[in-house]
Amino acid sequence: MTSKKDEVSVELRGTIAVVTLNRPGKRNALSDGLMAQIEAAFASLPDTVGAAVLNGSGDHFCAGLDLSELKDRNAVEGVHHSRTWHRILSGLEFGRIPIIAALHGAVVGGGLELASSCHIRVADDTAFFALPEGSRGIFVGGGGSVRIPKLVGTHRMMDMMLTGRVYKAAEGVQLGFAQYHVPAGSALEKAIEIATRVASNAPMTNYSLMHGLPRIAEQPADHGFFTEALLASIAQSAPEAKARVRDFLEGRAAKVKAS
Ligand code: 1HE
């Protein structure tokens, strides 16, 4: 297991944390050691952190699975490896805080799977999206077959894997790989701005969005309505919600504005 202590850095900035993949020499390829450090970094964030940014150092967000660790893995080890990724990436998706991915350069293979487990993605103009697994004779193993079709559709993912198709930033954002497209070099700044805003939301609102919304989307409509009613009533009964509504009614809160 390749593991260096400093392959993930965490910088606390008030209510947000900036988590950086720090293996630029290998284009932030996800070795077992790096995956373990990602898990540990998010697990150890203090309770004062309300949102995080995930980004990569160097010219690329992430080159995907560290292929050098794949060559000797047998079928049983492969299943456990994939299940470990599922645990770690589900831990991000269904963790305590929303994560904003700041994307640039390669967002490929397992790197796209990692980005897909985040809650908001900001892509700068250098970002490109691909699933080279198809060309390498393998399959996604980090939850990509579950998460990526939800972003861009099953047949688009099929095409990417069958043909090695690469999407550049502008088209990729239009298709749903990311929600924001920003100039080259500014993904981190934009992600920090978004995370700061997200961290100021009521915690129950963020929790309901992260944990409730994706589950409701998979429920039959009648169950979804019921779950929604429960979450709505819990969120609105919190003292913080009452205070925020009062602030609006008494003219102290910002109005909704078309920017
Ligand atoms: C790597 C990896 C890697 C770079 N595993 N070592 N992912 C891929 O198939 C993508 C493979 N990588 C690339 O296509 C390119 O490296 C990039 C487009 C991302 C970047 O290109 P470039 O020219 O900036 O860098 P480079 O010269 O290709 O790579 C620099 C070094 O990083 C080099 O090692 P060096 O020792 O010769 O310096 C590369 O070998 C190394 N490197 N990417 C290992 N991925 C849970 S299942 C998920 C399945 C997958 O993710 S499959 C897709 C894997």
Tell me, in angstroms, the distance from the centre of ligand 1 to residue 27's CA. Answer: 6
Among residues 113, 171, 240, 250, which one is catalytic? 113
Q: Block means of pLDDT (10 residues each) for the chain, length 259 residues?
A: 73 97 98 98 97 98 96 91 98 98 98 98 98 94 98 98 97 98 98 98 94 96 98 93 93 91
Cβ–Cβ under 8 Å, residues 128 and 107 = yes
H/E run at residue 243: helix 239-249
Return the ligand 1 atom nearest residue 110 CA. 51
In this prediction, residue 4 carries a pLDDT of 57
Pick the CATH number of 203-249 from 2.60.40.10, 1.10.12.10, 3.30.365.10, 3.40.50.620: 1.10.12.10
Cβ–Cβ under 8 Å, residues 40 and 5 = no
Q: In the chain, how long is the greatest CA-to-CA distance? A: 65
Amino acid at 41: A
Return the ligand 1 atom nearest residue 64 CA. 51
Amino acid at 47: D
In this prediction, residue 3 carries a pLDDT of 43
Beta bridge partners of 55: 20
In this prediction, residue 194 carries a pLDDT of 98
Q: What is the dihedral of CA 99, 105, 106, 111, to 10 degrees?
A: -10
In this prediction, residue 26 carries a pLDDT of 98
- Top-level CATH class of 4-199? alpha beta
144 within ligand 1 shell (Cβ under 6 A): no
Cβ–Cβ under 8 Å, residues 253 and 247 = yes
133 within ligand 1 shell (Cβ under 6 A): yes
Quick check: is 77 catalytic? no
Beta bridge partners of 18: 11, 53
In this prediction, residue 259 carries a pLDDT of 76
Helices (H) and strands (E) in the chain, counts: 12, 9
Extents of the domains making up the chain: 4-199, 203-249
In this prediction, residue 71 carries a pLDDT of 80
Atom 7 of ligand 1: nearest residue by CA position: 64
Return the ligand 1 atom nearest residue 26 CA. 32
Beta bridge partners of 16: 13, 51
Tell me, in angstroms, the distance from the centre of ligand 1 to residue 67's CA. Answer: 8
Tell me, in angstroms, the distance from the centre of ligand 1 to residue 5's CA. Answer: 21
Atom 53 of ligand 1: nearest residue by CA position: 109
Q: CB-based contacts of 167: which residues, under 8 Å, 6+ apart?
A: 128, 129, 130, 160, 175, 177
Quick check: is 113 catalytic? yes
Cα 189 to Cα 226: distance, rounded to the nearest angstrom: 39
Question: Which is nearest to 212 in space by CA: 196, 197, 225, 200?
Answer: 225
Atom 17 of ligand 1: nearest residue by CA position: 63
Tell me, in angstroms, the distance from the centre of ligand 1 to residue 26's CA. Answer: 6
- E-strand ranges in the chain read 8-13, 16-21, 51-56, 99-103, 106-108, 120-124, 128-130, 167-168, 180-182
Question: Which is nearest to 192 in space by CA: 48, 18, 47, 59?
Answer: 18
Among residues 7, 11, 69, 133, which one is catalytic? 133
